[in-house]
Amino acid sequence: MASFKKITSDQMNQTQKKIRGNVSSMLDFLNQCLVEPNTELSEVYINEMYSIFANAIEEYGKLVYMKSLTLDSENKYEVNYRHKFRDHTTKYHLALTELPKSINDLFEAGFTKMPMNILNVDLDNEGNPTWIAFDVDVNTLRKCVIDFRDHIN
């Protein structure tokens, strides 16, 4: 895997358009799932929605990174593919610097535990299988989805 990739202006525009579409699609899906404030949702569904939300944040961070690039002397964009475009922590950090405060509040502890792990099985101290525990409140998640959608629209 190359560390850097050079792309044209057209490729940059296409990439940004695809990323924006991907983020919007995830947020639209979550908005539909969370539309009824008084609906009881199982913890599994909430965790799945949280995981999709975390993925939307990461993709948005990728968009922030791409927008920060400038044309070089060859009239191309040099993408730091391995350490920026694909790095989870970098993309979360970039996204959270631009997104509303409510979204930052959802991730008070930062990203020391990757939010995607919410759907994964772990081993406890005695070696027994367990879910990775996150405390996700559906009303907070709903507000964050709304705030995120408002921010990108």
- Judged against a pLDDT cut of 90, whether residue 20 lies above it is answered with yes
pLDDT score of 112: 46
Instruction: Enter the tokens of residue 92.
Output: 């979360």
Tell me if 150 sits within 8 A of 142, measured CB to CB: no
Task: Give percent above pLDDT 70 in the chain.
Answer: 82
Residue appearing with tokens 């509303």:
100
Please tell me the total number of residues recorded for the chain in this structure: 153
Mean pLDDT of 43-53: 84
Instruction: Enter the tokens of residue 143.
Output: 């507000």
Non-local CB neighbours of 84 within 8 Å, separated by 6+ positions: 65, 90, 91
Least confident of 21-35, 60-74, 79-93, 116-130: 116-130
Non-local CB neighbours of 103 within 8 Å, separated by 6+ positions: 57, 96, 144, 147, 148
Could you say which DSSP state residue 115 is in? G
The most confident of the ranges 39-43, 86-90, 118-122 is: 86-90
- Judged against a pLDDT cut of 50, whether residue 133 lies above it is answered with yes
Please give the residue that has the higher pLDDT: either 91 or 123. Answer: 91
Tell me if 141 sits within 8 A of 49, measured CB to CB: yes
- Judged against a pLDDT cut of 80, whether residue 69 lies above it is answered with yes
4: β partners? 80
Could you say which DSSP state residue 117 is in? G
What's the pTM value of the predicted model, to 2 decimals?
0.85
Instruction: Enter the tokens of residue 142.
Output: 């709903």
The average confidence (pLDDT) of the chain is 85
Confidence of residue 44 (pLDDT cuts 50, 70, 90): confident
